[in-house]
């Protein structure tokens, strides 16, 4: 096997803002593994929230290059690297290569028939006025995900609801709330018909959820990485947001999804802001789940070749030229 690393910098449509600042582009690392004239690719997004950077992730991948080129298996990879971005890129590249080597699709490998998915569309954190304008522009979409950050969050949500009165709305609090703010917000969010709240409190400081009422489903994002996270999540959250950059690839993500469902949790499939190459394995995970949030390519100025086709608010199954 031969390992090749490359980096992409994807321009974002306008400026995308979350509670941790604005971005005008997103940087990704792509792993390509070649063997016998066949190539497998995987893309990951280093995330500063977890102490990752392009440099650190690239170095982590290069540190195990000899083992990869010697033909490491996906199960062995799970023991070699932690659940994070570097392992994700390698794991997904191995999946892609395996599909090509066996001349079967990823759908055949996982035993699932692909169908189109309805994905959420993200409204960036902004002033209530700007968020209302963005909601009006996207009011035709059936599912909106609203980024929040404390402070004016209730005003923001009232504005978004005015702008998109018929849309289903879910919110991402980005670890920015306090228990006091949560208690104040819940009655108001019920009146605004908010369908789900993602990660209201900082990971590691969310024990309070075990004693708070949860009339609106609460979804774990930063608090959920892999199956090891589930013991702390049960009794505090109603749903988990699975992202392959957090699980360290599709291999662990499939196992996490199955175990979480068996333990009574609902499933959301999310993504970091990235190209269709990152979305493809997440799209496999997204079959049959409660909420899909894979709008990354829609937020970019341009996408990778053979990327996803978004049509009539549906995300159509990807072609093999993309992945798998």
**Looking at the structure, do residues 188 and 302 belong to the same domain, yes or no?**
yes
pLDDT at 21 over 90: no
**Local confidence band at 30 (pLDDT 50, 70, 90 cut-offs):** very high
Q: Does residue 235 share a domain with residue 182?
A: yes
Residues 296, 274 contacting (CB under 8 angstroms): yes
Residues above pLDDT 90, as percent of the chain: 94
Residue 84 belongs to some domain of the structure: yes
Which residue, of 71, 105, 139, is where some domain finishes? Answer: 105
Name the pTM for this structure.
Answer: 0.96
Percent of the chain with pLDDT over 70: 98
| 100 catalytically annotated | no
Mean of the per-residue pLDDT values of the chain: 96
Binding residues: 172, 198, 221
Cβ-based neighbours of 108, under 8 Å, separated by 6 or more: none
Over its C-alpha atoms, the chain yields an Rg (Å, rounded) of 19
- As a whole number of angstroms, the distance between CA 124 and CA 16 comes to 6
41 and 163 housed in the same domain: no
Is there a single domain that holds both residue 137 and residue 253?
yes
Per the domain annotation, does 116 fall within a domain? Answer: no
The pLDDT tens digits for 123-165 are 999 999 999 999 999 999 999 999 999 889 999 999 999 999 9
> Are 68 and 169 in a shared domain?
no
Query: 77 pLDDT exceeds 80?
Result: yes
Residues 246-280: tens digit of each pLDDT: 999 999 999 999 999 999 999 999 999 999 999 99
Q: d(Cα 281, Cα 287) in Å, to the nearest integer?
A: 11
Task: Let me know if residue 240 belongs to a domain.
Answer: yes
- At residue 16, does pLDDT exceed 80? no
- 173 shares a domain with 66: no
Q: What is the CATH number of the domain that holds 215?
A: 3.20.20.120
List the alpha helices (DSSP H) in 14-84: 54-63, 65-69, 74-80
CATH number at residue 99: 3.30.390.10
Q: In the predicted model, what is the mean pLDDT of residues 162-191?
A: 97
Q: Which residue, of 79, 105, 131, is where some domain finishes?
A: 105
Q: Confidence class of residue 13 from pLDDT cuts 50, 70 and 90?
A: confident
For residues 79 and 132, state if they share a domain. no
pLDDT at position 154 is 97
Quick one: average pLDDT of 177-206? 97
Q: Are residues 53 and 181 in the same domain?
A: no
On whether residue 114 sits in a domain, the answer given is no
- Catalytic choice (2, 136, 145, 147): 147
Could you report the per-residue pLDDT of 293-312, keeping only the tens digit for each? 999 999 999 999 999 999 98
Note whether 167 and 216 are same-domain residues.
yes
Catalytic residue, from 35, 109, 183, 243: name it.
243
Report yes or no on 112 lying in a domain: no
Counted domains in the chain: 2
290 and 203 co-located in one domain: yes
Binding residues for Mg(2+) are 172, 198, 221
Position 20 confidence tier, pLDDT thresholds 50, 70, 90 = low
Q: Which residue segment(s) compose the domain that 11 sits in? A: 2-105
Instruction: Reply yes or no on whether 168 is catalytic.
Output: no
């Amino acid at each position: 096997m031969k390992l090749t690393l490359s980096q992409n910098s994807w321009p974002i449509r306008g400026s995308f803002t979350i509670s941790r600042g604005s971005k005008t582009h997103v940087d990704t690392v792509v792993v390509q593994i070649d063997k016998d004239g066949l190539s497998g690719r995987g893309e990951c997004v280093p995330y500063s929230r977890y102490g990752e950077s392009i440099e650190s992730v690239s170095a982590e991948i290069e540190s195990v290059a000899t083992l990869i080129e010697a033909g490491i298996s996906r199960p062995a990879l799970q023991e070699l690297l932690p659940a994070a971005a570097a392992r994700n890129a390698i794991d997904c590249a191995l999946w892609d290569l395996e599909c090509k080597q066996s001349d079967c699709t990823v759908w055949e490998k996982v035993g699932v028939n692909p169908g189109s998915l309805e994905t959420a569309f993200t409204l960036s954190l902004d002033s209530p006025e700007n968020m209302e304008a963005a909601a009006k522009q996207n009011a035709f979409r059936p599912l909106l995900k609203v980024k929040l950050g404390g402070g004016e969050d209730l005003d923001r949500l009232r504005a978004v609801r005015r702008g998109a009165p018929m849309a289903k709305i879910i919110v991402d609090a980005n670890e920015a709330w306090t228990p006091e703010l949560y208690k104040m917000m819940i009655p108001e969010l019920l009146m605004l018909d908010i369908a789900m709240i993602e990660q209201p409190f900082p990971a590691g400081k969310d024990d309070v959820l075990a004693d708070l009422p949860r009339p609106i489903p609460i979804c774990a994002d930063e608090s959920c990485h892999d199956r090891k996270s589930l013991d702390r999540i049960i009794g505090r959250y109603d749903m988990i947001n699975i992202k392959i950059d957090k699980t360290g690839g599709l291999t662990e993500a499939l196992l996490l999804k199955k175990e979480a469902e068996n333990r009574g949790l609902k499933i959301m499939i999310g993504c970091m802001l990235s190209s269709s190459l990152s979305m493809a394995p997440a799209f496999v995970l997204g079959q049959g789940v409660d909420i899909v949030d894979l709008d990354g390519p829609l937020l970019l100025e341009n996408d990778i070749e053979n990327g996803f086709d978004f049509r009539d608010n549906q995300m159509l199954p990807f072609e093999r030229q993309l992945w798998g």
